[in-house]
Structure 1
Amino acid sequence: MIRGLYTATSGMLSLQRKQDSLTNNLANINTPGYKQDVGVMRSFPEQLLARIRDQEGPDIQGLPQMGGQAALIGRLHTGVYMSEALPVFRQGDIAETHDPYDVALLDNIQPDEEGNERRLFFGVARLNDPANDTAEPEQLRYTRNGNWSVNADGYLVTPDGYYVLNAQNQAIRVNDPDLPENNAGHTLEINQDGSMTYLRDGERVALGDQPLGIKMITNPQQLVREGTNIFRYEGDVEPVNVTEDPENVGFYGVKQGWLERSNVDPSQTMTDMLTVLRAYEANQRIITTLDGTLEKAANEIGRVNG
């Protein structure tokens, strides 16, 4: 009976964690580029129970007492736990915003030869000196949130304050306060392949010599979430610029003036939350029943001893 209490309690704790994950998904339903988490539930190892020394052997002087054969009772389940919450990197819907600093990343990159999933992300980083620093691999972070803005120094930044990087892992400067004639402002144009131009003296000129830093990550489940929309990569295969492989042409694109929405399905999430709630309540009733049974047994023992 006590084991039953522990099993039901572990179920309630894991369901609480899963409900928290679903609630976080629902709270970020309007966060651009957000990727929902899916809670992974696993069971603790089963235990095989047997009754040993089922029959005591004869007490013969000079011989060791031999117990009976173990009697198999059965398997005991020791509960479940939520081991991790894995993000789902499925492409979200895109919506038009008409803002030149909003960028949606369209991703249809196929798996590699070994069947590993491959996904695209914008490369971002925190830099102490964005005018001169190049982000090192350990500084790189990845996001699908293309809801950008221009900071006071004229650099493209994410809502979390990360600098948006180009293919050489350098910050992208849109406006230069010291050279106003070179300011792109709202004339910035980001092409489908990630190259950037702006209007100067009535003509389109390139903004730098590098396109956007669109990184292709193999096996994105090796990404670790930092905050809401930023990921850190801890895999073995180093992310590469998608523009480096000509075979990727036609399987990805950049759409300026659009935003990728969250890939959370509100209807499915609400259904999952109700399912988790019912399972939580079932475990709660089990604990209440076992507690009542134990109390009754304790009272019976008290009457017998009295």
Structure 2
Amino acid sequence: MIRGLYTAASGMLSLQRKQDSLANNLANINTPGYKQDVGVMRAFPEQLLSRIRDQEGPDIQGMPQMGGQAVPIGRLHTGVYMSEALPVFRQGDIAETRDPYDVALMDNIQPDEEGNERRLFFSVARLADPATDTAEPEQLRYTRNGNWSVNADGYLVTPDGYYVLNNENQAIRVNDPDFPDQSAGHTLEITANGALFYRNDAGEQVPLNDQSLGIKVLTNPQQMVREGTNVYRYTGEGQPANVGDDPENTGFYGVKQGWLERSNVDPAQTMTDMMTVLRAYEANQRIITTVDGTMEKAANEIGRVNG
């Protein structure tokens, strides 16, 4: 009976973790570029039970009892646990905002030769001196959130304060107080392949220091670790390449300025999953109540006999 308590309790703990993951998905349903997490449930290794040194137990059909030999009883499952929460990098819907600092990234990059998923991400980093620093590999972070703004120094930044990087892993400055004639302001233009331009006083399109967005191709994005809500750290081997420098790029991609990629969370499915988890949690609760009541009754019987 004690084993039953442990099995039901492990189920409740894992279901609680899964419910927390679903609740986090639902809370970020309006977070641009958010990728939902899916909880992975695994069973503990099953155990094979046997009677040992049993000289008086009855024979089991097909398994004759032999003196001094272990007699198999059967298999025992000891519950489940939630091993991890894996993000789903499926493309989210895009919505028009008409804000020049909102950028949606759309990709249709094919898997590599080994069938590994490949996805595109904006590269971002925290820099001590954005005017001179180039982000080192260990500083690079990746996001799909294109809801950017311009800070007091004129740099493109994410809502979490990361600098948006160009294809040279340097911060992108769109407004320079010392050179107002070379500042983009709200005339910033981003082409479909991520190149940056602005309009001068004459209305002419001028390259913004020959920069383009640092769009990286990440093979097997499950090797990334979520840091915060919308930023990931890559833990795989090597460094992701710029999409334009990737020799294996056999897909299509595009950047849409004035649009945002929405979260890929399905609210209806998430609510359904939360109700399913809740019912399973309540079922485990009833199991614990039943086992506890049975043990209490057995304890009372023992006390009555001894008395």
Identity of aligned residues (%): 84
Deviation of 1:236 after TM superposition, in Å, equals 1.2
Quote the RMSD (CA, aligned, Å): 1.3
The one-letter code sitting in structure 1 at the alignment partner of 2:300 is N
- How big is each residue's C-alpha offset from its partner over 1:34-73, in whole Å with a ceiling of 9 and x where there is no partner? 00000000010100001011217xxxxxxxxx95221100
> For residue 233 of structure 1, what is the aligned residue in structure 2?
234
Asked if the contact 2:112–2:118 (Cα under 8 Å) also holds between the matched residues in 1, the reply is yes
Question: What secondary structure sits across from 1:289 in the alignment?
Answer: helix
> For residue 7 of structure 1, what is the aligned residue in structure 2?
7
- How big is each residue's C-alpha offset from its partner over 1:83-142, in whole Å with a ceiling of 9 and x where there is no partner? 000000000000000000000000100001111100000000000000000000000000
Question: What secondary structure sits across from 1:116 in the alignment?
Answer: coil
Is 1:176 aligned to 2:176, yes or no? Answer: yes
The one-letter code sitting in structure 1 at the alignment partner of 2:281 is Y
> For residue 300 of structure 1, what is the aligned residue in structure 2?
301
> For residue 61 of structure 2, what is the aligned residue in structure 1?
none
CA distance in 1, matches of 2:158, 2:246: 27
> For residue 263 of structure 2, what is the aligned residue in structure 1?
262
Deviation of 1:249 after TM superposition, in Å, equals 7.2
- How big is each residue's C-alpha offset from its partner over 1:190-227, in whole Å with a ceiling of 9 and x where there is no partner? 00000010011321100122210000000000000000
Q: How many residues matched?
A: 297
CA distance in 2, matches of 1:282, 1:276: 10
Question: What secondary structure sits across from 2:138 in the alignment?
Answer: coil
CA distance in 1, matches of 2:30, 2:95: 11
Distance 1:242 1:51, change over 3 A: same
The one-letter code sitting in structure 1 at the alignment partner of 2:191 is N
CA distance in 2, matches of 1:36, 1:139: 24
The one-letter code sitting in structure 2 at the alignment partner of 1:10 is S
Asked if the contact 2:109–2:250 (Cα under 8 Å) also holds between the matched residues in 1, the reply is no
Deviation of 1:285 after TM superposition, in Å, equals 0.1
CA distance in 2, matches of 1:200, 1:93: 33
Is 1:253 aligned to 2:254, yes or no? Answer: yes
Question: What secondary structure sits across from 1:147 in the alignment?
Answer: coil
> For residue 72 of structure 1, what is the aligned residue in structure 2?
72
Is 1:82 aligned to 2:82, yes or no? Answer: yes
Question: What secondary structure sits across from 2:212 in the alignment?
Answer: coil
Question: What secondary structure sits across from 1:167 in the alignment?
Answer: coil
CA distance in 2, matches of 1:206, 1:15: 53
Asked if the contact 1:101–1:147 (Cα under 8 Å) also holds between the matched residues in 2, the reply is yes
Please show how residues 187-266 of structure 1 align to structure 2 within 5 Å.
Answer: 187-202=187-202, 203-245=204-246, 248=249, 251-266=252-267
Output the TM-score relative to the length of structure 1: 0.95
Asked if the contact 1:127–1:135 (Cα under 8 Å) also holds between the matched residues in 2, the reply is yes
Deviation of 1:170 after TM superposition, in Å, equals 0.2
> For residue 31 of structure 1, what is the aligned residue in structure 2?
31
Asked if the contact 1:106–1:254 (Cα under 8 Å) also holds between the matched residues in 2, the reply is yes
The one-letter code sitting in structure 1 at the alignment partner of 2:227 is E
> For residue 59 of structure 1, what is the aligned residue in structure 2?
none
CA distance in 2, matches of 1:171, 1:238: 18
Distance 1:250 1:289, change over 3 A: closer
Asked if the contact 1:120–1:215 (Cα under 8 Å) also holds between the matched residues in 2, the reply is yes
Asked if the contact 2:217–2:246 (Cα under 8 Å) also holds between the matched residues in 1, the reply is no
Deviation of 1:180 after TM superposition, in Å, equals 1.2
Asked if the contact 1:100–1:186 (Cα under 8 Å) also holds between the matched residues in 2, the reply is yes
> For residue 186 of structure 1, what is the aligned residue in structure 2?
186
CA distance in 2, matches of 1:9, 1:159: 40
> For residue 42 of structure 1, what is the aligned residue in structure 2?
42
CA distance in 1, matches of 2:153, 2:177: 7
CA distance in 2, matches of 1:17, 1:214: 34
CA distance in 1, matches of 2:82, 2:170: 39
> For residue 60 of structure 2, what is the aligned residue in structure 1?
none
Asked if the contact 1:218–1:237 (Cα under 8 Å) also holds between the matched residues in 2, the reply is no
